[in-house]
Amino acid sequence: MIIDGRAIAQKISDRLATRIKDLKTKGVTPKLVIVKVGNDLRTQTYIRVKQLAAKKLGIKTEVKAFDAQTSATQLDSEVRQLITDLNQDPTVHGIIVQLPIEADLDDQELIDLITPNKDVDGLTATNQAALEAGRELMVPATPLGIISLLNNENIPISNSKVALVGLGRLVGRPLSFMLEARGAELKVANSKTTNLKAITDDADIVIAASGQPHLIKADMVKKSSVLIDVGLSEIDGQLTGDIDPAAKEKASMATQTTGGVGPMTVISLLSNVVLAAEIQASLQ
């Protein structure tokens, strides 16, 4: 069975539309500002996807772009000043620093300048520390999307054996805390783990977020498993994931390389923007 991320994202979108309508009756229109440094083509594609989805929901977006060729000192100063100004702007509810940054800047330092209740990427040290302590405030969009996907498909997390392959800052690491908080029997690994099969072969849920194409083979998963493919790579012009197609055919449920986790990431980011707007409206 294919887990349809697009269909689940649409259900969440419908619920968000109601919340956005309620905000607008109070004179609040959710707004997201994306801070971009450089002209990476893939990054621009990601931003357009976010903007299109936001527009459909009635969420305002604005991109603040900086030339990566500007001197690092000047660029750092300008980006810092922009974030400071956005923090103080009551019409801006969410701020993200689009990664990767195409300049010699400390991206974490810049992210940490964002006030936590506008940090809709959930990457500030404050929100990360809260997550690690079991208090989910603003959490990263992809992990949030994966949890939402499992919940919407009524796939139990509590007491399930979960193999998480990949512990990156954007997906694996925050997701590990979220899974443990929900009672998962969690085993973690990465692409270099010796005998990876020993981690995955008895797992009820395998989540692959290593960025290594076809890392998870059919003989590494059991027939009743649920496979969540987060990775996205390009081989000979074709997009492929971390999980081999043969493994997905063997599993009971699986996401596709496209139309799976991707749409859930976008809608989860927008969910965070709406939540941020609600929180900020309640504080006024």
Domain ranges of the chain: 2-117+264-276, 141-258
The pLDDT score that the predictor gives to residue 22 is 97
Catalytic residue among 119, 121, 229, 244: 121
Structure tokens that stand for 191 in this block: 């692409």
From 36, 50, 248, 250, the catalytic residue = 50
Residue 239's pLDDT is what? 83
Whether 155 and 226 have beta carbons less than 8 Å apart is answered as yes
- The yes-or-no answer on residue 121 being catalytic is yes
Q: Same topology for domains 2-117+264-276 and 141-258, yes or no?
A: yes
- CA dihedral for 237, 241, 247, 250, sign (positive or negative): negative
- 2-117+264-276 fold: Rossmann fold (3.40.50)
Indicate which residue of 31, 64, 98, 248 is catalytic. Answer: 98
Provide the pLDDT for residue 57: 97
- Token pair for residue 21? 């309508």
Eight-class DSSP state of 216: B
**Rounded distance between C-alpha atoms, residue 244 and residue 233, angstroms:** 12
Q: Say if strands 233-235 and 238-240 run parallel, antiparallel, or are unpaired.
A: antiparallel
Identify the DSSP state of 218.
Answer: G
Distances in Å between the alpha carbon of 141 and those of 1, 43, 191, 270?
A: 24, 16, 23, 9
User: How many Å from the N-terminal Cα to the C-terminal Cα in the chain?
Assistant: 46
CA atoms lying within 13 Å on the CB side of residue 191: 11
Q: Would you state the structure tokens that stand for residue 103, as one six-digit string?
A: 């300049």
Active site residue 98: yes
- CA-CA distance, 22 to 73, in Å (whole number)? 43
pLDDT value of residue 150: 97
Output b/e per residue, 19-53; b: 16+ Cβ within 10 A: bbeebeeeebebbbbbbbbbebeebeebbeebbeb
Average pLDDT, 10 consecutive residues per value, the chain (284 residues): 95 97 96 93 90 97 94 94 98 96 91 97 97 93 97 97 95 97 96 92 97 95 96 83 95 94 97 97 85
Q: Are 16 and 56 in contact (CB under 8 A)?
A: no
Q: Where are the alpha helices (DSSP H) in the chain?
A: 5-25, 41-57, 72-88, 107-111, 125-132, 141-152, 172-181, 197-200, 245-250, 261-283
What would be the CATH architecture of the domain defined by 141-258?
3-Layer(aba) Sandwich (3.40)
Instruction: Give the Cα separation of 86 and 174 in Å (integer).
Output: 26
Check residue 232 and give its pLDDT. 85
